[in-house]
Structure 1
Amino acid sequence: MSTESAPFDPTLPYTLAGSVSLRPEPFGALVYDYTTRRLSFLKTPLLVTVVRELEHHPDAITALTAAEVPAADHDRYLRALTGLCESGTIHRRRAS
């Protein structure tokens, strides 16, 4: 598998990387990548919900809707997902 990540495309399916663990916290979640040993944060509980919903939906946009992200906030959440994809926290998955 390549270490380069493909650009984030919200019309494609994504999932949490297998090397990543989320630990729920009142502010959102701690994100730990066992491969890179990188610790980061998801700063809102709603973003945690979106990340967890990704694996159950055919694309990131549908996951936002399922997580009940207000339409006015979709761009902000898509930017957050772009960053998570670039860091390797989430990655594309094969459509089921």
Structure 2
Amino acid sequence: MQEREAWRLSGSVALRPEPFGALAYDFHTRRLSFLKTPRLVDVVRRLGDSNDVGTALTAAEVPDAERPSYLAALTTLASGGLLEER
């Protein structure tokens, strides 16, 4: 996933807030995933309203040094079908 790409949470996915972050449940695949930090949840929630991934990372105040880790996490979520390209 690149910072200039536009993504969003898939329409079949619901997020349930948890103290550690959130549970993501896909109603089509019945797949359950864990978003392990509140900041990652914030980024995922912002994706749909942001121009691109980089804007969502900036809005969620992800430090520059941590951006590669967040991009990797978002790539994993996308490969599992929890995120979709816009």
Q: Give the TM-score normalised by structure 1.
A: 0.86
Q: Which residue of 1 aligns with 2:38?
A: 45
Equivalent positions of 1:1-96 (< 5 A) are: 8-93=1-86
Q: State the distance in 2 between where 1:40 and 1:85 align.
A: 12
Preserved contact between residue 2 and residue 71 of structure 2 (Cα < 8 Å): no
* Root-mean-square deviation over aligned CA pairs: 0.8
> Which structure has the greater CA radius of gyration?
1
Q: State the distance in 1 between where 2:83 and 2:64 align.
A: 22
Counterpart of 1:37 in structure 2: which amino acid? R
Corresponding residue pairs, total: 86
Q: State the distance in 1 between where 2:49 and 2:71 align.
A: 17
Q: State the distance in 2 between where 1:40 and 1:13 align.
A: 21
Gaps of 5+ in 2: none
Q: State the distance in 1 between where 2:80 and 2:69 align.
A: 17
Gaps of 5+ in 1: 1-7
* Partner SS for 1:9: coil
Q: State the distance in 1 between where 2:35 and 2:61 align.
A: 17
Pairwise CA distance, 1:66? 0.5
Counterpart of 1:40 in structure 2: which amino acid? S
